[in-house]
Homo-oligomer: A and B are copies of this chain.
Amino acid sequence: MDVDIDKIPKHLLRFEYPIFEFNKAIIDATHQYVVAYKPNMAFYEANGLKGWKSLEKTIKYLNKNYPEVFTIADAKRGDIGNTSSMYAKAFLKDLDFDSITVAPYMGKDSVEPFLNFEDKFTILLALTSNEGAFDFQTLSTQDSPLYKKVLETSKTWNYAHRLMYVVGATKAEYFKEIRSIVPNNFLLVPGVGAQGGSLQEVCKYGLNKDIGLLINSSRGIIYASSESDFSEKAAVEAKKLQLEMKQILENHF
């Protein structure tokens, strides 16, 4: 849910919280096809107080009406311990998201405050979908590239069973090796669709016995139409992806 106020249908602007109204309609129309929603914090912070309020209303709406759907605060936070604790409180306790994305650069003590939350998940950036992933993430360290070090090292942290990892769909050829390091953790996979990643390829190497994949599609669904039929068109796109996934799963299991 990367909801840009400039891209949503104009008729929603008459509401007090247009972004929330947009989200609500998208959620109601697509919930039967999705396993998770992932509001992207930047898009809410870019709207200041009203953005933050829209975020609060969205997560409350989800938790109240669709408590079975997994929720992800796409925040990519990560800071020294006492600061990470504050972010963890904000997103996992106060807003009550099921999970949060976290950047690994600052290491163990920057991630553990998130992992301390029982029944919550921390989704660590491993190999991201963007071009800049090749700047540092794939650099060779002594024995393996940095992103593998992130996987290997984070496996040793307390409560590592509460870890998931971001692995971009545009890096499908890496999934096999990634699965050999973290066979059981869920992977959050952005980059299918707009960014060019292949769902088939990702599933071929990424699926595990629990499925183990959260496939993200954002702009391809929420901006399927910019007219008053935006939520029906979003449902069509969500259903399309869900059916594609279903077929892959039927062939796989």
A77 within 8 A of B: yes
Looking at the assembled complex, report how far the CB atom of A132 sits from the nearest CB atom of chain B, in whole angstroms: 2
A131 within 8 A of B: yes
Tell whether A107 pairs with B134 under 8 Å between CB atoms, given A42-B83, A142-B140: yes
Of residues 67 through 110 on chain A, the ones whose CB sits less than 8 Å from some CB of chain B are 74, 76-84, 86-87, 89-91, 94-95, 103-110
Q: In this complex, what residue of B is CB-closest to A219? A: B82
- Partner of A42 from B4, B49, B90, B150 at Cβ < 8 Å: B90
A224 part of interface (Cβ distance < 8 Å): no
Q: Top 5 nearest A-B pairs by Cβ distance?
A: A107-B132, A107-B135, A42-B86, A46-B86, A109-B132
- How many interface residues does A have (CB within 8 Å)? 58
Decide yes or no whether A149 CB sits under 8 A from chain B.
yes
* Copies of this chain: 2
Question: Does A33 make an interface contact (CB < 8 A)?
Answer: no
Complex contact B79–A42 (CB within 8 A): yes
**In whole Å, how far is A240's beta carbon from the nearest beta carbon of chain B?**
23
* Complex CA distance for A149 and B134, rounded to whole angstroms: 12
Whether A235 is near chain B, meaning CB under 8 Å from some CB there, is no
Closest B residue, CB atoms, query A130:
B80
B residues near A77, Cβ cutoff 8 Å: 42, 76
Q: B80–A78 contact, CB under 8 A?
A: no
Distance between A140 CB and nearest chain B CB, rounded to angstroms: 6
Once the chains bind, are B40 and A48 in contact (CB under 8 Å)?
no
CB distance from A154 to the nearest CB of B (A): 9
| Contact between B107 and A104, CB atoms less than 8 A apart | no
A153 within 8 A of B: yes
Are B43 and A80 closer than 8 Å at their CB atoms?
A: no
Q: Which of A42, A74, A84 is most buried by chain B, counting CB atoms within 10 A of its CB?
A: A42
Q: Which of A2, A78, A132 has the most CB of B within 10 A?
A: A132
Is A123 on the interface with B (CB-CB < 8 A)? no
